[in-house]
Amino acid sequence: MSSQSVARPKAGAYETVGEKTNLPGRKTAANIMEKVLFLATASAILVLLALAWDILSSGAGWLSLHLLTDVPSRKAEIAGMRPAILGTFWVIGLTALIAFPVGVGAAIYLEEYAPNNRWTRLLKLNIANLAGVPSVVYGLLGLGVFVSLLNLGRTVISGALTLALLILPVVIIASQEAIRAVPSSLRQAAYALGATRWQVARDHVLPAATPGILTGIILSISRAIGETAPLLVVGAAAYVTFNPSGLTSRYTVIPMQIYEWARRPQAEFSNLSAAAIIVLLVVLLLLNGLAILLRQRASAKVRW
Amino acid sequence: MKVSESSVSITTLDRDVATASSLAQPIVSIKDLNVFYGSFHAVGHVTFDVPQNQITALIGPSGCGKSTVLRCINRMNDLVPAARIEGRIDYHGVDVNAPTVDPVEVRRRIGMVFQKPNPFPKSIAENITWGAKINGFKGNTSELVEKSLRQAALWDEVKDKLNESGLALSGGQQQRLCIARALAINPDVILMDEPCSALDPISTLRIEDLMRDLARHYTIVIVTHNMQQAARASDQTCFFSLGENRMGVLVECAPTRQLFTKPADSRTEDYITGRFG
């Protein structure tokens, strides 16, 4: 409607403004697409809810304090998973300590230092490929290198090193994305003041990229915490009745405990494994919550 | 390293006002500069001098290599992938591209202000002090902040909010913050790459006034699309144009008044009278 028009248009004159257009058709298509996209979202949520309901209905009744504080037993009523919970904290903690500095360091090198040539591109491509390698393959690698060749045995450190290798590509790629998203004007400003590459990376690129890097770290922890296959290969034990005592201790982790209980024929044990899954999910949510808290604190430090 | 012979202590912001004899002295001397991006010959055979404590304006149509030449002076063009240069750029007689010269050292002497204001996502005070700190500044930081902001004519507007984010300021204030940030490390030369193109006319005039003030202590090279700005604010003007194969060439370099009133080259005359570009 033109504001310059002298006479006010009559009611109903708003319906067709000028010539007939294809607008009705476009509106229909837009409405249909909105519903299709909503269905896609809803189906994912529905499946998740169904799974959660299934687990909660069979496992919730078996949740108890002694499940967290007792050791496994052949009797389902008194069986606990304390060694598995502690084992998961040991292994995941160590995995994080190994994978994050190495992964973030590699990402800084690739984005801030490496020359943009054929070798760098080949390296980046292969890191992306590594992220797609099945986890059991990392287990075999860990068995060959850490357990046998380095003679670390079937210990916490072997498991952590194997999981660290597994999540390293994910950490590197996520950190690279976060570093690449830092505006180049920020780097230019810092370089123009006579800063070295490291000063630019340390004081500007990393602080600005930290929230994004932490998002990648959340994803990689979520992956590592649920892994069973590689740890099965590098010798996490299935039935452990003692706490892990150090780097060279034998150990088990929550997914192994779930697997161990789930494969038993008795119904009580399959309910127990559902309870253990709930515990695993809670541990996962706690760790992710911690990472999200760190991410928020990091975001607050950068004052966009 | 020879570049550092000309170094001025970073703790003393005021320097001697140039004497008459040093006025004509070129502080930066560009000889037969050629810049390539991959196989593209972007800038060809550029030669001119930048006199000390004067404002040199680089003007010309888009894409004729003004900014490229500017970024070569403090080796910021090194950061562009596949960029390669031939020829010499002497700073106090030292070739800045010599293998023995560290680009970090060059940039510390030759500061830069960019087209789009780009304060760090940090507080106003940290924006000023960061460059000084990484260059080993050990003095009183609050004095440094005040002095730099006063020099950039920003102090009165921000003195009560030094801990607020530099990005909370208006565009014109952000650009003056970037100038203050460049001044805080006490450079010799300040390169400005279209510093007013993202600003409104009032902010633009403030920056031009500021440049005139700064030229008493610093040497300024400014790229501008705005011919009036070059005419108003500069002592010397260099006109760039597009040559064959879209290669940027320097048409002529002359005292500003002379270039705008009696241009030696017909291409310059066409451009400044608006018949081209």
Give me the residue from A189, A207, A303 closest to B167, CB to CB.
A303
Provide the pLDDT for residue B20: 37
Dihedral in degrees, nearest 10, Cα atoms B75, B80, B86, B87: -30
With CB atoms and an 8 Å threshold, state whether A189 touches B181: yes
How confident is the prediction for chain A on average, in pLDDT? 89
On whether any CB of chain B is under 8 Å from the CB of A195, the answer is: yes
Nearest residue in B to A112, CA atom? B79
Give me the residue from B108, B122, B134 closest to A303, CB to CB.
B122
| Residue of B134, B161, B185, B190 to mutate, testing the A interface (most A Cβ within 10 Å of its Cβ) | B134
pLDDT tens across A23-73, in order? 888 999 999 999 999 999 999 999 999 999 999 998 888 888 888 888 888
Q: What was the ipTM of the complex prediction? A: 0.86
Strands B110-113 and B189-193: parallel
Give me the residue from A116, A188, A204 closest to B114, CB to CB.
A188
How confident is the prediction for chain B on average, in pLDDT? 87
Confidence of residue A238 (pLDDT cuts 50, 70, 90): confident
With CB atoms and an 8 Å threshold, state whether A186 touches B130: no
Dig out the tokens for A190 from the structure: 């810092």
3-state secondary structure of A265: coil
On whether any CB of chain A is under 8 Å from the CB of B165, the answer is: yes
Query: How far is residue A130's CA from residue A234's CA, in Å, rounded to a whole number?
Result: 19
Chain A, 148-167: which have a CB under 8 Å from a chain B CB?
Answer: none
Nearest residue in A to B107, CA atom? A194
Looking up tokens 């990392």 gives A138
Provide the pLDDT for residue B6: 41
pLDDT tens across B24-48, in order? 578 999 999 999 999 999 999 999 9
On whether any CB of chain B is under 8 Å from the CB of A114, the answer is: no
Provide the pLDDT for residue B30: 95
Provide the pLDDT for residue B159: 92
> What is the CA angle A296-A298-A300, rounded to 5?
70
On whether any CB of chain B is under 8 Å from the CB of A304, the answer is: yes
Q: Which residues of chain A are within 8 Å of residue B178 when distances are taken between CB atoms?
A: 189
On whether any CB of chain A is under 8 Å from the CB of B2, the answer is: no
Residue A161 neighbours by CB distance under 10 Å: 24
Q: Which residues of chain A are within 8 Å of residue B109 when distances are taken between CB atoms?
A: 194
Confidence of residue B238 (pLDDT cuts 50, 70, 90): very high
pLDDT tens across B39-97, in order? 999 999 999 999 999 999 999 998 899 999 999 999 999 988 889 999 999 999 999 99
| Residue of B73, B110, B112, B118 to mutate, testing the A interface (most A Cβ within 10 Å of its Cβ) | B118
Q: DSSP states of A122-144 as a string?
A: HHHHHHHHHTTS-HHHHHHHHII
With CB atoms and an 8 Å threshold, state whether B116 touches A203: no
Helix (H) and strand (E) counts for chain B? 11, 10
Query: How far is residue B204's CA from residue B230's CA, in Å, rounded to a whole number?
Result: 12
On whether any CB of chain A is under 8 Å from the CB of B92, the answer is: no
Q: Among B51, B33, B50, B29, which Cα is nearest to B42's?
A: B33
CA dihedral sign of residues A262, A266, A269, A274: positive
CA dihedral sign of residues A169, A174, A176, A177: positive
Say yes or no to pLDDT of B165 above 50: yes
Give me the residue from A188, A196, A208 closest to B76, CB to CB.
A188
| Residue of A198, A303, A304 to mutate, testing the B interface (most B Cβ within 10 Å of its Cβ) | A303
Say yes or no to pLDDT of A182 above 80: yes
Nearest chain B CA: its distance from A198 CA (Å): 11
Say yes or no to pLDDT of A291 above 90: no
Q: Among B73, B68, B57, B267, which Cα is nearest to B187's?
A: B73
Give me the residue from A187, A192, A199 closest to B111, CB to CB.
A192
On whether any CB of chain A is under 8 Å from the CB of B116, the answer is: yes
Provide the pLDDT for residue B14: 35
Provide the pLDDT for residue B2: 40
3-state secondary structure of B193: strand
On whether any CB of chain A is under 8 Å from the CB of B76, the answer is: yes
On whether any CB of chain B is under 8 Å from the CB of A117, the answer is: no
Confidence of residue A15 (pLDDT cuts 50, 70, 90): low
Q: How far is CA A292 from the centre of its chain?
A: 12
Percent of chain A past pLDDT 90, that is, above it, reads 60
Order across the sheet with B94-95: list the strands.
B94-95, B83-91, B26-37, B40-51, B248-255, B236-242, B55-59, B219-223, B189-193, B110-113
pLDDT tens across A73-115, in order? 888 888 889 999 999 999 999 999 999 999 999 999 999 999 8
* Mean pLDDT computed over B158-166: 93
